[in-house]
Amino acid sequence: MSDYGILSILPPALSIVLAVLTRNIMLSLTAGAFSGAMILANFNPFFAIAELVEKYIFIQITSGSNAQIIVIMLAIGGFIHLLEKSGGASAFSSVVAKFVSSPARAQLAAWCAGVSVFFTDSGNALIVGPLFRPIFKRLNICREKLAYIIDTTASPVSILVPFISWGIYIMNLIENTYDDVGIEAEPYQVLLSVWPYQFYAFLALLSIPMFLSTGKDYGLMARAQANFNKELKTTDLSEVDVSSLSVEDSKSTLSTVFLPLGVLFVTMAVYMGYFVVTEGVQSIHMRGGILTAYIFASIACAYLMKKQRKYSYEQSFQEYVKGMQNLLFLCLIMVLAWSLSSICKDLRTGYYLAAIIGDSISPSFIPPIVFILGATMSFATGSSYGTFAILLIIVIPVAYTLNAPLELTIAAVLSGGLFGDHTSPISDTTVLASMGADCPHIDHVTTQFSYAIIPGGITLLTFLISAYYPSPYIIFAVILIQLMTIKSIMSLFGKTIDN
């Protein structure tokens, strides 16, 4: 096997640099993969293109597990679009809105609604935002606070659910990288073992009720609330008809969301339950159960759309196809990430990096370093998906070679990518949160940062502590630390602003 030396780190390094400079993940992954193919083809452009297409892209697309993942991702995209189009999620959120009677309840209700719309991070802002805008205005709560709440309940919720597009995407990246390294493990079991270490997702989600419990705001958020109070004339409670706040047709009811999701969960339980009691659950069973469940749930959704909204099955299928198209870009990213991963395997990139690092860094400190790298890259690119695709290819082989904790390392990539994406002004979820709350984008970015930096900083501290005490139960201690930190900050710097 050829030793490519320092050239072996060129493809992933080029991808990272281009991602930061251009903020274009597709271009960055393509350039990285092509540069790797050039090295393998002895810098002959013709053979590099042929090798990239024939030996990597075609092979990755036609790989059994990869082809299955693409089909599943498209099925999930179709279901999400149908559920949003049916108005089911909007109907659910509008019911929650009926019980709002105070600023504290309004913010807590928005948090609950955001957590409940777990199946789509982008749709979260566009569903919850329009529903709660009139309520927040009626109760004199600034738009920046609504944007912060819906942004913080978008990606952090989605990344914790293993059977939606986020989980499927991450499991596939893990599976391909593990195969390249030579690690035998079921990807869903790996993701479940990583789940307790996703510190930023847990801390960010819990930070909202923690902040709300103090009854105060601080920093630029407090200034935004004070300015809002000066500008806004209080609207009489009777002027807002909460029952009319749904962004979809009023014919949608709670059954519009509960029936499809019920079909989804029951189908998965039955499908997976059979294999649990017979031959045991394998990755193919996991993928088969997820695909079957989403297809059945989509059929249930189409039935309700026909019954409640007079959509024909043909119209529902057309909407389903539109939803599939929404995830085509993500599928293309995965194909390029798979190709780059395979190229890095042939270049032995991970082993070269491990040899360079050697004994200079303790393997236990790789996760906090990876968290910082992931946060920086995701902040600069505005893409957690692209960060996951590039970093997992690099850090898993290095962590495995140096005997670093793999679960913590993977979790550091996920937490870092999530934190950077959450605070980035060019992240799609950040932009959508501003749109959903009807908030000036720069105001949302600046007011949110002082709130997001607390769980972000504590997450970094947690990975540092885990270097000495690696335990999934550490999350309980850091949740308490975060609560005490927020209480202390609000006590010292918080302001109680009359709504």
Is 124 within the bounds of a domain? no
Asked whether residue 337 falls in the same domain as residue 430, the answer is: no
Please name every residue paired with 495 in a beta bridge, in sequence order, or none if there are none. Answer: 217
d(CA 277, CA 267): 16
Asked whether residue 340 falls in the same domain as residue 436, the answer is: no
Give the pLDDT score at 385.
74
Please count the residues of the chain: 499
Is 451 within the bounds of a domain? yes
Cβ-in-10-Å burial (0-12, 13-18, 19+) of 430 comes to: buried
Q: Write the pLDDT tens digit of every residue in 198-230.
A: 999 999 999 999 999 988 888 889 888 888 888
Find out whether 204 and 451 touch, Cβ atoms under 8 Å. Answer: no
Give the pLDDT score at 381.
63
Mean pLDDT of 91-117: 77
Could you tell me the end-to-end alpha-carbon distance of the chain, in angstroms, rounded to an integer? 69
Could you write out the DSSP letters of every residue in 482-498?
A: HHHHHHHHHHHH-B---
Give the pLDDT score at 238.
43
Is 100 within the bounds of a domain? no
Asked whether residue 340 falls in the same domain as residue 379, the answer is: no
Is 282 within the bounds of a domain? no
d(CA 335, CA 57): 7
Q: Write the pLDDT tens digit of every residue in 186-204.
A: 888 888 888 899 999 999 9
Q: Write the pLDDT tens digit of every residue in 434-474.
A: 877 878 878 888 899 999 999 999 999 999 998 888 888 89
Give the pLDDT score at 246.
42
d(CA 398, CA 400): 5
Mean pLDDT of 71-82: 82
**pLDDT-derived band at 2, boundaries 50, 70, 90:** low
Q: Which domain holds residue 410?
A: 155-236+361-494
Give the pLDDT score at 208.
94
Asked whether residue 390 falls in the same domain as residue 339, the answer is: no
Asked whether residue 336 falls in the same domain as residue 381, the answer is: no
DSSP 364: G
Sign of CA dihedral 391, 393, 394, 400: positive
d(CA 499, CA 353): 55
**Among the three residues 345, 377, 394, which one is the final residue of a domain in this structure?**
345
Phi, psi values for residue 357, rounded to 5°: -65, -45
Domains of the chain: total? 2
Share of the chain above pLDDT 90, in %: 17
Asked whether residue 340 falls in the same domain as residue 433, the answer is: no
Is 180 within the bounds of a domain? yes
Asked whether residue 489 falls in the same domain as residue 451, the answer is: yes
Q: Write the pLDDT tens digit of every residue in 15-34.
A: 878 876 776 778 888 898 89
Is 228 within the bounds of a domain? yes
- Chain center to CA of 386: 11
Is 36 within the bounds of a domain? yes
Asked whether residue 173 falls in the same domain as residue 224, the answer is: yes
Q: Write the pLDDT tens digit of every residue in 277-325.
A: 787 667 677 778 888 888 998 999 899 888 888 888 888 899 899 888 8
**Residue 259 pLDDT more than 80?**
yes
Q: SS3 for 217?
A: strand
Q: Other CB atoms closer than 10 Å to residue 106's CB: what's the count? A: 24
Give the pLDDT score at 486.
94
Give the pLDDT score at 121.
63
DSSP 495: B
Asked whether residue 365 falls in the same domain as residue 338, the answer is: no
Asked whether residue 207 falls in the same domain as residue 340, the answer is: no
d(CA 184, CA 6): 28
Q: Specify the amino acid at residue 166.
A: W
Asked whether residue 385 falls in the same domain as residue 490, the answer is: yes
Q: SS3 for 455?
A: helix
Could you write out the DSSP letters of every residue in 248-305?
A: S-TT--THHHHHHHHHHHHHHHHHHHHHHHTT---HHHHHHHHHHHHHHHHHHHHHHH
